[in-house]
Structure 1
Amino acid sequence: MGETVDGLTGTEIDQALTQIGVPDVSPGITKRHRIFNALASHQQRHGHGKSLVAFINKTMAPVRYRNEGVLHARRMAELNEVLIYAGLAVNGKGDVVRLKSGAASTLDEAARHGGDFRSQLRGRGIHRRVLDYCTDELLQKNNFHAMLEASKSIPAHLREVAGVQGDGATLADKTLSPGKGPLVAINDGVSDSDRAEQAGFANLVKGILGMYRNLTAHEPRLHREVTDDELLEALTMMSMVHRRLDTARRAPAS
């Protein structure tokens, strides 16, 4: 946050400290030292680190980055590479949250997901629903379970759009298969091409759920290494499914 080029400005630091009620004990010095001195002094005086959390929450609030989404994503990723050592992370809302997976204990655990992979995820525009389901696993570089958790986002989205319960291939058949008319339609369904696309989409969803969601089918693969490229391809495919569901229409149940 105090980085020379892309860090907070002096004015932004002053505003954030004022808003969280932390005195600026050394104004005018290098930004990173200014932030550290203010927060460390407050922590020593009060015996807890709430001021640090409040500072991050305030300066990472998405409303501050309305026209700077890339900067927000970069700061969030770089903060998370440090916060993961305490079992914490900044989520998409700019809030510091505790990771279910706990703290990282090695450099590899914390940093293996830095650099190019983060850039590729941002560049591919991975759907927010996918990332909501696998952020912990991405931070911990647990690629196989990141794919597993991300795949759970698809039936959840499908249930939301269709307004029905179910899971797996049964849910996909119930809501997407053309038949006499799908419950969730991704197109107008008036031509042979429309119906072929609808059937293909239903099969795609069933394929994703069968490949990544079905733990029993994947028992032999639990210890197989999943590369970053394979994970990126899987998350991209799941994102495409979500985007089609974003624009799908729900038909009345027959």
Structure 2
Amino acid sequence: MAIIKNFDLASLETICKILGETNIGLSGTEITKYLSECGITDPQINSTKWKRLYDALSFKQNEDRCANNVCAFILHVMRPSRHVQKQEWFENIRSQLNYVLSFEGLEITESGELKPANKVKNFSEAEERAQNLRRSLLDRKIHPDVLFFCKAELLVDNYFHTVFEATKSIAEKIRIKTNLTTDGAELVDQAFSYKDKIPYLALSSLSTESQRSEQKGFMNLLKGVFGTFRNTTAHAPKITWNIEEQDALDILSTVSLIHRKLDKAVEARKIYEGSF
């Protein structure tokens, strides 16, 4: 690894606060374990978790005169295989860390690697992009569930993660409305398919061919969004799948339409008695 210059102490402090956050951060036992595994001395001067981390990492950075071992510790903590059972936690913490790391010109990828990123010089750059996107979406009367994802930390580099998170919200809403646990095309089929059974969710009474065609078309739209945007952003490196602002606006408008349809979708069993 090339020499990584010392992190600004304010950045390092914020990183330690994210990793040592009281409710969702690392436990004290985990901090001890990971510092030891990375060969970083734990001075244990402070009982507060984030302060312990800050003492250990700032001392190591000062001793090394570079941030390489600090970065190695962060990547050790954020190794994806360590968080298979808590992927939501991984993405949440990675997003917060990347917001801070952007001020150092770095980013943690989906695969848990460190790569150079466009360096943000101040908070206003990221906040301005978020506000501009939000204003444009408000002009389109976008669904509030989509506006939730217009966060500065998701827009530090480009619109990649905003689209990714927004499309994930579609599947989550379907799961909440149906209590199903699957994902992707399988979830769509289980929730909306009306062949030889009453579906979990229906856009209408499905009593006419036109209504049934609408239900089928909506299923295809959902599968298309998952396959084109969510699955691509989940697996493709961001550098090879760049999303510009206009693309993001159009994709998020589609996601908004889907959310409105889902809000109006009803449990088919409340409409019908018996089977189709």
Q: What is the TM-score normalised by the length of structure 1?
A: 0.54
Aligned to 2:226: 209
Deviation at 1:225, TM superposition (A): 2.3
Q: Structure 1 stretch 217-226 or stretch 127-136: which is displaced more?
A: 217-226
Deviation at 1:127, TM superposition (A): 1.7
Aligned counterparts of 1:109 and 1:213: Cα–Cα separation in 2: 26
Note if contact 1:133-1:152 (Cα within 8 Å) is conserved in structure 2: no
Deviation at 1:178, TM superposition (A): 2.7
Note if contact 1:186-1:244 (Cα within 8 Å) is conserved in structure 2: yes
Deviation at 1:242, TM superposition (A): 0.5
Aligned counterparts of 1:252 and 1:146: Cα–Cα separation in 2: 35
When residues 132 and 112 of structure 1 are mapped into structure 2, their CA distance, relative to the original with a 3 A threshold, is closer
Q: Return the match for 1:188 from 196, 205, 208.
A: 205
The residue correspondences of 1:1-254 to structure 2 (distance < 5 A) are: 100=96, 101-103=98-100, 104=103, 105-107=120-122, 109-110=125-126, 113=129, 117-133=133-149, 135-180=151-196, 181-215=198-232, 218-219=235-236, 222-252=239-269
Deviation at 1:213, TM superposition (A): 1.7
Deviation at 1:135, TM superposition (A): 2.3
Q: Structure 1 stretch 244-253 or stretch 205-214: which is displaced more?
A: 244-253
Aligned counterparts of 2:154 and 2:132: Cα–Cα separation in 1: 14
When residues 164 and 117 of structure 1 are mapped into structure 2, their CA distance, relative to the original with a 3 A threshold, is closer
Percent identity for Structure 1 against Structure 2:
37
Deviation at 1:118, TM superposition (A): 3.5
Aligned counterparts of 1:200 and 1:161: Cα–Cα separation in 2: 20
Q: Structure 1 stretch 181-190 or stretch 215-224: which is displaced more?
A: 215-224
When residues 110 and 246 of structure 1 are mapped into structure 2, their CA distance, relative to the original with a 3 A threshold, is same
Note if contact 1:162-1:184 (Cα within 8 Å) is conserved in structure 2: yes
Deviation at 1:220, TM superposition (A): 6.0
Deviation at 1:134, TM superposition (A): 5.0
Deviation at 1:141, TM superposition (A): 4.8
Aligned to 2:27: none
Aligned to 2:91: none
When residues 122 and 110 of structure 1 are mapped into structure 2, their CA distance, relative to the original with a 3 A threshold, is same
Aligned counterparts of 1:115 and 1:251: Cα–Cα separation in 2: 39
Note if contact 1:184-1:249 (Cα within 8 Å) is conserved in structure 2: yes
Aligned to 1:95: none
Q: What is the TM-score normalised by the length of structure 2?
A: 0.50
When residues 210 and 125 of structure 1 are mapped into structure 2, their CA distance, relative to the original with a 3 A threshold, is same
When residues 203 and 214 of structure 1 are mapped into structure 2, their CA distance, relative to the original with a 3 A threshold, is same
Q: CA RMSD in A?
A: 2.8
Deviation at 1:192, TM superposition (A): 0.3
Aligned counterparts of 1:216 and 1:233: Cα–Cα separation in 2: 16
SS across alignment from 2:246: helix
When residues 151 and 115 of structure 1 are mapped into structure 2, their CA distance, relative to the original with a 3 A threshold, is closer
Segments of 5+ residues of structure 2 without an aligned counterpart are 1-94, 104-119
Aligned counterparts of 2:224 and 2:99: Cα–Cα separation in 1: 32
Aligned counterparts of 1:216 and 1:242: Cα–Cα separation in 2: 20
Note if contact 2:163-2:252 (Cα within 8 Å) is conserved in structure 1: yes
Aligned to 2:116: none
Q: Post-superposition, which runs of at least 4 consecutive aligned residues in structure 1 deviate over 6 A?
A: none
Q: Residues 58-94 of structure 1, C-alpha deviation per residue, up to 9 Å, x if partnerless?
A: xxxxxxxxxxxxxxxxxxxxxxxxxxxxxxxxxxxxx
Note if contact 2:130-2:152 (Cα within 8 Å) is conserved in structure 1: no
Deviation at 1:248, TM superposition (A): 0.7
